[in-house]
Amino acid sequence: MFSFGQARQRIEEAIKGKQMLLVVGNCYVEYWGRAASKLPKGKRLLMIKGDSSSAIHQNRLLRPTNYMMNARISCEEQDNALVLSAKKLKPKESIKVFFYRVDDIQSYEMDSAADLRLFGSERELSNELMKDLSFLEEGLKPLKQEQAFRKGIADLIAEDKDGNIVVIEVKRRKADFSAVTQLQRYAKQVEKINGVKTRGILVAPEIMKNARDLLENYGLEYYSFDFEIGNPKTKIKGVQKKQPTITEFM
């Protein structure tokens, strides 16, 4: 139990020092901005980080119920509440946390943030695949031109043994409608730019049934694959072309 005066001093100190700040207590939360919300009174945890990212957490779920980043934080004592406000412009937004009881305040001087080393990202899979496109199809070669650019419009652009341009989209998880429409969009765009018929290949571990139907309607191709995440190398295995499932004639 903290008096609002004590609490305010402690909070302002921590914020000034860019410390990780945690406030636990009975509060009511209002948000107004891109949307609006009200969180009924209850015991919650407020986390404010050194970069001013703020979040109100309940005791369930990963994501906070309210949050804001790049905000200006302020703290004021009202009649019956300690009010913590986070405000930002662009978009104009505001959160107000009304603490009616402050149970605990903790703050920690933290180490400067380190980069997470992540393996198995789509980018990594895509790079691995590019090293040997014959995994996909005999005679498939990356187009040097596109390779030069960090990222063009599609994940990969290649040329098949007959000289057709092939647009390749890689997904690290089960492909859905959006993966298919994305590939279709890229394929059409490349087709328009180069003025030649272009193949589109979706490479993903799995694909939703309905998404696959759409893909086949668009005349695109699907290859399944597996990958094994390793350090430092992620390995691609078991690439195989899936034949169209001819379910109906038009």
Partner DNA sequence: TAATTTATGTCGTAG
Partner DNA sequence: CTACGACGTAAATTA
Side chain identity at residue 158, one-letter code: A
Establish if 176 lies at the interface with DNA (CB under 7 A).
yes
Distance CA(137)–CA(201), nearest Å, equals 11
Tokens of 141: 């070669």
Distance CA(235)–CA(171), nearest Å, equals 15
Q: According to CB under 7 A, which one of 9, 26, 52, 182 is a site residue for DNA?
A: 182
Q: Residue 85's closest CA among 95, 99, 70, 71?
A: 95
Between residue 89 and residue 148, which ones bind DNA under the rule CB under 7 A? 90, 93, 95, 116, 118, 120-123
Between residue 135 and residue 174, which ones bind Mg ion under the rule CB under 5 A? 155
Q: According to CB under 8 A, which one of 32, 164, 196, 219 is a site residue for a second copy?
A: 32
CB of 12 to a second copy, least distance (A): 18
Q: In what order do the strands lie in the sheet with 141-142?
A: 141-142, 156-159, 165-170, 198-204, 221-228, 235-242
Query: Whose Cβ is closer to Mg ion: residue 37's or residue 178's?
Result: 178
Q: Residue 232's closest CA among 118, 129, 135, 114?
A: 118
Query: Whose Cβ is closer to a second copy: residue 76's or residue 108's?
Result: 108
Interaction site with a second copy (CB under 8 A): 18-20, 22, 24, 26, 32, 34-40, 42-45, 47, 49-51, 53, 55, 57-62, 64-67, 69, 103-104, 106, 108-121, 172-173, 177-178, 181-182, 185, 214, 229-231
